[in-house]
Amino acid sequence: MYHQYIPLFRPFSPGLALAREIVNRFLGCGNSIASHFPGHFEMGLANLRTFPLIMETRLMTRLFPHRVLIPMLVLSTCCHSAFARTVSVEQVLRDFSRCDDSFFTPANMAALNPGATLAVRTVKGRAWLDWGEMRNKEAEITLPKRLEVAGLPLRSLISRGKDIGNLGAYYSWEFVLEADRQAAESKLLPLFEAAAPLSRLKQDVYARSESLGQDGQWRQDGPAPTGLMGKQQTWREFQVSVDQMLDLTTIKCSLMGNVTPALLMQHRPDIPATQYPVAVPPLRFERSAVPVSSLQTLDAAVARNSVWRPKFSRLRYVVTGGGAPQIVTMTREGQLIDSTTLYDESLGLSERRLSWANLIPLKSMFDYGMPDNAVSIAETLSVELPRDLSPGSVLTYRSRLQEQAVQKGGEEDVRRQCKSSGVLAAHRIHPSLNGEAVLMNCETGDAQEQQAYIMELGIFLPLMHRSQKTGQTEYRYSDLNVEK
């Protein structure tokens, strides 16, 4: 730390080395004091940080007697040691309840590590218990048995993390104590409510929530949203929860939502960069190529009848059936359709597909913003298209879909057969459609579908889907806009 204040290109001397050590200890002590009494020692610390420059100048000009340094070294050591002994585990937990980096001080780690039996890391004045190897963003440290807070035994310190792309990132660090509901309410809650009140979310859960504003300031808010919150907001929450079955209480801090690497660097210095959220590789869908053989097979089948070719440049509609409305956007790419289905705008859940006529998928990707989003490719394809759409005509295709993931993904064999069953006026599907829609009954495995081939557009639109697992779903279309 000292090299930030005393340049290392200066000639070495024992006195200068002692000066550096003194500065380190005084600053460590001062930072610890300031973290526990914010707002009272900033000016003193600012003056302390100028002390190394004064010492260096006087040492180099021999105006500062070297014999003075030894007593100062002793004084700085006493300051550091005396303060470290004054930090109670209760104070450590109060610092922890702020859910920021004020918890990560040398004094707090010393209080959690009596006897120095646990590994501690210190970087730029911030300290933490070393997690060792983190697996899947999770790690646990068993605390010394004699540690107690408010007379309640501390068991462990746990770190958890989960990055699920557009659905948000969720990082927590938590203490586990031996405490039932009565002990938690009588001994722990008063310890934390002195700083700010906790809200009772349910019978055995108490929390204090803050949201991060656009100005970078945390504001008490809440309660924080439950479930997946996406990347629209960032929340920080302190929570006390009781497990009545095990008589254990968890004291937890969480960062949730749009948790960025910069936010983790500021609030969680204990987490290595390898555990940060990972950016999605760009253009994964575009860079995943459909085999030439599959494209040639489809081109040969479509060439036999112009009725199978798309007849628009861009199409957008809203489809409803069995859940929230889905927004579908289609763009013609030669004989194919590049489509995006938006399932949840707030969470950024969507599916991208390259298909023929919105019926035969050549590649698809369910996108929720994860770096390991898998693109499914039609590695093999066989297609039989009827020469006309008279009743009883049959359309059949078979394909083998292979997931192109970071690690080798799964395979799926798909066979779909569709038989023409009649004609419907297209405007009955949507008022803006003209001409006829040819109805086709399709089977894929144990699922049955009714598809409508819109002659005016050259695409299929599903009208009904039925299976043993999902039951029957009927689809309705609205807000349809076509660009020819």
pTM, entire model:
0.56
Q: What is the pLDDT of residue 448?
A: 94
What DSSP element (H or E) covers 84?
helix 69-86
Q: What is the token pair recorded at 50?
A: 């100028």
CA separation for the pair 298, 248 (Å, rounded): 62
Q: Residue 432 — pLDDT band, cuts 50, 70, 90?
A: very high
Residue-wise pLDDT for 92-129, tens only, equals 999 999 999 999 999 999 999 998 899 999 999 999 99
Q: What is the pLDDT of residue 231?
A: 80
- For residue 195, give the nearest of 300, 267, 90 by alpha carbon: 90
Tell me what the pLDDT averaged over the chain comes to. 81
CA separation for the pair 88, 342 (Å, rounded): 52
Q: What is the pLDDT of residue 106?
A: 95
Q: What is the token pair recorded at 325?
A: 């409305």
Residue-wise pLDDT for 435-449, tens only, equals 999 999 999 888 999
Residue-wise pLDDT for 127-144, tens only, equals 999 998 888 789 999 999
CA separation for the pair 222, 56 (Å, rounded): 51
Q: What is the pLDDT of residue 145?
A: 82
Region 80-101: what's the mean pLDDT? 78
- For residue 300, give the nearest of 399, 382, 393 by alpha carbon: 382
CA separation for the pair 42, 29 (Å, rounded): 13
SS3 call for 388: coil
- Region of poorest pLDDT, from 61-70, 217-226, 418-427: 61-70
Q: What is the pLDDT of residue 388?
A: 81
Q: What is the pLDDT of residue 339?
A: 95
Q: Residue 76 — pLDDT band, cuts 50, 70, 90?
A: low
Contact indicator for 313, 482 with CB cutoff of 8 Å: no
Q: Which residues of 41-73 are buried (b: 16+ CB within 10 A; e: fewer)?
A: beeeeeebeeebeebbeebeeeebeeeebeebb
